[in-house]
Amino acid sequence: MKREQILTPENFESLLAWLDADRELAGKLYEDIHRRLIKIFTSRGCSVPEELADETIDRVIGKVRELAVTYVGDPRLYFYGVAHNVFLEHCRKKSTVPIPPILTTVEPDEGELEQEFQCLESCMQGLTAKSRHLVLQYYRDDKQAKINSRKLLADQLGIALNALRIRAFRIRATLQKCVQNCMGQSVAG
């Protein structure tokens, strides 16, 4: 069913009546729900949050006559439940969309790669010996060997695997920032 067929003045009035008996309060609640839905979809990384918010509202409007009779509780929670389902459907659809081929590829400049490598080396020297050892061990292997070495590293450090991931992430973030600063200074200098 098209949006124009769902969002009729009668259906919208039914929605407002379900939200609150006071029409002005219902209007404010509707706007708040719509704004909140957009924030939810945006925070989940959706590229079309407004469309998904509208889809959520359309679905609720399609059931509002039934909801007015049977639903007990805060109407906002119903909207958020529907939004969750809309988001999951969007993710499924998104994964089936073919990815367009890359039209142009930009090969990294060899001098730039060398400069980045030198910056990384310099930033690694700025780490403590423990941090340097941890990050080198954490990122050294592939596939099953990587899993096994990370478990072993966590055991050696006497920490949980998740704590190891967090430490490695923080060290990597520090390194990335350092490399970016170094590259910026090299370009400017």
> How far, in Å, are 8, 127, 184 from residue 120 at the CA level?
60, 11, 13
Backbone angles phi, psi at 79, to 5 degrees: -60, -45
In contact, 168 and 159? CB cutoff 8 Å: no
The CA distance from 174 to 177, in Å, is 5
Residue by residue, pLDDT tens for the chain (189 residues) are 555 556 688 888 999 999 999 999 999 999 999 999 999 998 888 888 999 999 999 999 989 989 888 988 889 999 999 999 999 998 888 655 454 444 444 555 677 888 888 999 999 999 999 999 999 998 888 888 888 899 999 999 999 988 899 899 899 989 999 998 998 876 555
The pTM of the whole model exceeds 0.85: no
Tokens representing residue 106 in the block = 């930009």
DSSP 141: -
